[in-house]
Structure 1
Amino acid sequence: MDRSSAAGSALEKTLRITEALAEPGGPHRLTELAAATGVPKSSTYRILSSLIQQGYAVTDGEGSYGIGLRLRTLAAEIGAERPAGIVELLQFLQRGTGQAVQLALRSGDALTCVRKIESSQPFRTASRVGVRIPMHSTAVGKAVLAHLAPAEADAVVRAAGMPALTPRTLTDREALAEELGAVRARGYAVDDEENEPSVRCVAAAVFDRAGAPVGAVSLTTVTFLTTRAELERFTPALLEAARGVERLLRLG
């Protein structure tokens, strides 16, 4: 086999494995991916290791693999080019509420901001595209944690810790578990000065086809401009936007 044929074969295997990672029902086991793609397990493992290094795949360290943040971000970029793409949808939400809008996607035991539309108000929050976001102290993080299996949520919290970022940050796992129950009951999460002083946020989870939370959409304001009750009145629009993001990412 000449060099170009070998390269083509390697590329074809990588693409097949990437497509298999994106199939519903993930995360996927190594043996499942090898069987689904027809690629030997040893080659599948090497390709997955490379994809993980590049951010296109993630692993739980116990033999399960899923699509990574870089691949999800690429999907968001593609969706944003559509007539009714992600950026346009988030901009529509921002115009309708006047609040800062953010899309964050899960990356291991934290989230990463992949889109942000600033508020029409004269304020800016610390979050920006590319910044990693803690789970326990943010609305986007609690929206995701609330819909993970309890054991997985606990593992994420244990791995990341629960540092006090403000006097209002939840630092007790039992208190956080109670709060996550409230998130599930009302359908959205609230960060009331838990991550940044004077910053208030509501968020709704974004789910994949299998019903697993992969990120969240949020609305953010400052406490001296918008009360919690005023911010929560925007949650119907927030929830609708989260469902739209799911469709555009081809996750829902």
Structure 2
Amino acid sequence: MLVQSVRRASKILQELAVAGPRLGVSELAERIGVAKPTVHALLRTLEAEKLVVQDVETGKYLLGPALLHLGNAYLDTHLLRTRSLTWADSLASRANEAVWVAVLTGDRVLVVHHAFRPQGTVQILEVGASIPWNTCALGKAIVAFTGEADREALLAGELPVLTGASINDRDQLADQLEQVRRVGYAVEDQESALGDAGIAAPVFDRSGLPVGAIGLVGPVERLLAEQARETHAILVREVARNLSRDLGAARTAGPRGV
């Protein structure tokens, strides 16, 4: 019973994170398939721990401040993030573009570090951003080098469309992943946000499997310009290789020695 309660509480937090920001008891009960009294009791417990808070005006619930502390603790102890700080800053300086480092969580990528573009204007910190894997270079770079079973499961799962350029055709995505394995990096062309692009490469640890990805993000006209694209790709692959070695990966990490 205790395990079931933990699972239900987790589902409540996930619904507030994805479908929120504010949901009532009835909405949550319907979404997670649990009786309203049970959901109400769980919400009271979560509220006592500051994992959720109740909006005074509407009576609906939203995520609480304690989750921020947990999230920061996760980032502070995440090995890829801590090891990537110097490499990401170096890549941002050399490419004069913003750099994201991300990990795969389920069927989405989570940005765990963001190095600003050195000469940019006002920029928004994107740490904590969660993006469908199929709509970004970071996600494709990771998935291309995961085990075959995991890759097939992700291709068979939900493939969201965020813009008119997003790709949700499984065969087309499979072809893209094969291309990523050949060249060692992935490209995103306005697939998660209009006007934005990305170039990313996988990061491996001593197991030889990808633990995340690092990549450049920026305006499509600058990042994917004919003369700049190959230069950016070379820089990204180089930094990804160095970061991988810093994490204990062999020089031939990856299925094809990327």
**Alpha-carbon distance in 2 for matches of 1:106, 1:204:** 13
Q: Give the length in aligned residue pairs.
A: 177
Alignment of 1:9-88 (within 5 A): 74-76=77-79, 80=82, 86-88=84-86
CA offset at residue 111 of structure 1? 1.8
Q: 1:233 to 1:123 in 2, by over 3 A?
A: farther
Q: 1:121 corresponds to which residue?
A: 120
* Deviation for aligned residue 1:173: 0.4
2:178 matched residue in structure 1:
181
Q: What is the Cα deviation at residue 101 of structure 1?
A: 0.5
Shift of 1:209: 1.6
State the shift of 1:129 in Å. Answer: 0.8
**Alignment check: 8 A CA contact 1:73 1:114 kept:** no
Match of residue 195 from structure 2: 198
Mapped partners of 1:207, 1:121: distance in 2? 30
Q: What amino acid maps onto 1:168 in structure 2?
A: A
The structure-2 alpha-carbon separation of the partners of 1:239 and 1:198, relative to structure 1 and needing over 3 Å to count, comes to: same
C-alpha spacing 1:195/1:220, structure 2 compared with 1 (3 Å): same
CA 1:188–1:146 in structure 2 vs 1: closer, same or farther (change >3 Å)? same
What is the match of residue 146 of structure 2?
148
Which residue of 125, 135, 138 maps to 2:136?
138
Structure 2 CA distance for aligned equivalents of residues 121 and 156 of structure 1: 35
For residues 102-140 of structure 1, give each alpha carbon's deviation from its aligned partner in whole angstroms, at most 9, with x where no partner exists.
110122222211110111233747x71112221111000
User: Partners in 1 of 2:103 and 2:222 — Cα distance?
Assistant: 27
Does the 8 A contact of 2:137 with 2:200 survive in 1?
A: yes
Task: Decide whether aligned partners of structure 1 residues 148 and 226 sit closer, same or farther in structure 2, where only a CA change above 3 A counts.
Answer: closer
**Cross-structure match for 2:230:** 232
- Gaps (5+ residues) in structure 2? 1-72, 251-258
**After alignment, is 180-189 or 142-151 more displaced?**
142-151
Equivalence for 1:46:
none
Per the normalisation by structure 1, the TM-score is 0.63
TM-score, length of structure 2 as denominator length: 0.61
Partner residue of 1:106 out of 94, 104, 108: 104
Q: Of 214, 218, 231, which residue of structure 2 is paired with 1:217?
A: 214
- Output the aligned Cα RMSD: 2.5
Question: What displacement does 1:234 show?
Answer: 1.8
Detail structure 1 runs of 4+ shifted over 6 Å in the superposition.
none
Contact 2:108–2:130 (8 Å) recurs in 1: yes
Q: 1:149 deviation in Å?
A: 2.5
**What SS does the aligned partner of 1:233 have?**
helix
